[in-house]
Structure formats: structure tokens, C-alpha cells
Amino acid sequence: MERPNILWYCTDQQRFDTIGALGNEFVKTPTIDGLVEEGVAFTKAYCQSPICTPSRASFMTGLYPSRLHNTRNGNDTFPDGVPLISKMIADSGYECGLIGKFHLVSAGHRPEPRLDDGFTYWKHSHAPRDDWPEGTHDYADWVREQGKDLDEMRQSEARVDPEYHQTKWASDRAIEFMSQERDCPWLLNINVYDPHPPFIPPASYAEKFPADQMPGPYFRESDLETQAKLDALDFQGHAKRPEELNGKDI
């Protein structure tokens, strides 16, 4: 039996209700709508964690974040002896590629260390800033090669030109990977950064969605009070023993 190629595409921090095919009448998501209509939408599935690293670690291993002891961002290492699905698929004879984020360990202000991940094609792009050292961030390097400055574009009125946007770059790299001649099946994992904050789409796209025509956020007056209580925990703060945490402050 001929084994299929696998295209694994992940957007970042995108809620299900921001997709036209899943009921949002305000947005225009024709490409994602096509995937929904031609495939299967798991409308009763839940994300393993609302936090980036534990969620990604979970779907790369098939384990709950709690089993991995990986429940927050900012961890320096990844558990030893836990195989990644990309490595297992590579070992079965697939050529595996990654484009965009990986983020199984801390990558906020350092190049993300490679794991035993099985990827032979690796085009890494974490936060689309311009302060990454040369040779550590493939997207930022590519933008510089085009004679552009990411931070300058992000702060401009027009924002990042669509031709130099990280999502466009990722799509072009995907076409590059899939167009290669090979005698084996492939898996390509694409992890674009959007719609992750700071929410700065190209102005030409933002103008398609006038703010005064958009619905307001889901909000209850109690949300601010609840958030103030959660601030005492600070999920990305330093680890504390139970006796160090004053439950009366929560």
C-alpha cells in the first residue's frame, strides 16, 4: 500500500470560532474553510493546554503535559527518552520537514536547541522580530537578505508587507519542500506564528475588517477580578513550594 504524504499545518493561538466554516460570519478564511469542508472538523475536541510549549509538547509526543512535567513556557530542557512523533515517522522511512515554530523548549530570546526530532529540512522561525543573531532564525535571516528590516516594517503604518510576512515565507518554503524530487513519502509540519500577538497584520488586510463592524469581545465584569487573583500565581513565574504560596491571596 502506498503511504500518503502528510501536511501538518498549525496556526498559533487561533480559536475555533475565528474560522468562517465553523460559524464566524465576520471573518474571511477561505483557505482554512476549504480544509474544513474537504476534511473533518473535530468540534468537540479540546486543546491539551492553553500554553504554547506544553500544548506543542503534547501533540508531538501523544502524552499529557502533566506526564511530561512540561506545564509552562520557559523550560530549558525536554525530558530524555520521550520519542517525538516526527522522529518515529522519519524512522519509518519518511522525509520530515519543519517550517516555523517548534517551541518544545524555551526559545524566547535564544536559538531553540534541536532535539532528536527526525527533521532533515529545518526552516526555523520563532517570534518575527529583527533582534535574532544571524544564522539562528531562518525567517529573520531571509528578510535581511531581501534588504528589509523587520522591526522597521512592524512599526510602520503599513506594517509588514504581505510579500515579506512570516506566513508568506512559510508558504513559500513549504512549496519548496514539497516540490523536491524524492523516492519516499514526506511529512511537513508548518507552524506559522499568526494569529499570535502582537496582532499586527499587514494594513491592507487589517483594512478589510473595520473595527466598528466587528463584534465586541466575550467579557464579564467578573473577568478582571478573576484575572487579578490569577496574577498571584503567575504561571510563568518562578516555581514555588506549596507552603510558599499564600492561598488567602488567591
CB atoms within 10 A of CB 9: 17
Instruction: Tell me which residue has cell 506544553.
Output: 54
In angstroms, the CA 71 to CA 51 distance is 8
Active site amino acids: 52, 103
List, in sequence order, every residue forming a beta bridge with 191; answer none if it has no partner.
10, 100
The dihedrals phi and psi of 139, each to the nearest 5 degrees, come to -70, -45
In angstroms, the CA 32 to CA 10 distance is 11
- E-only strand ranges, 32-178: 95-100, 119-124
In angstroms, the CA 236 to CA 192 distance is 23
60-74: pLDDT as tens digits: 999 999 999 888 888
What pLDDT shows up at residue 239?
A: 46
The burial class, CB within 10 Å (0-12 / 13-18 / 19+), for 155 is exposed
Sorting pLDDT into bands at 50, 70 and 90, what band is 246? low
pTM of the model: 0.86
* Amino acid, res. 207: E
* 169: CB partners within 8 A, 6+ apart: 125, 139, 142, 143
* Contact (CB, 8 A) for 17 and 24: yes
How far is C-alpha 29 from the geometric centre of its chain's CA atoms? 18
* Contact (CB, 8 A) for 250 and 233: yes
Tell me the CA distances in angstroms from 94 to 98, 106, 123, one per residue in order.
Answer: 13, 27, 18
146-196: pLDDT as tens digits: 999 999 999 999 999 999 999 999 999 999 999 999 999 999 999 999 998
In angstroms, the CA 93 to CA 82 distance is 20
Sorting pLDDT into bands at 50, 70 and 90, what band is 250? very low
> Which bin fits 165, alpha (ψ -120 to 50), beta or left (φ > 0)?
beta
Sorting pLDDT into bands at 50, 70 and 90, what band is 46? confident
Angle at 243 between CA 239 and CA 245, to 5 degrees: 60
Domains of the chain: 6-46+83-218 (3.40.720.10)
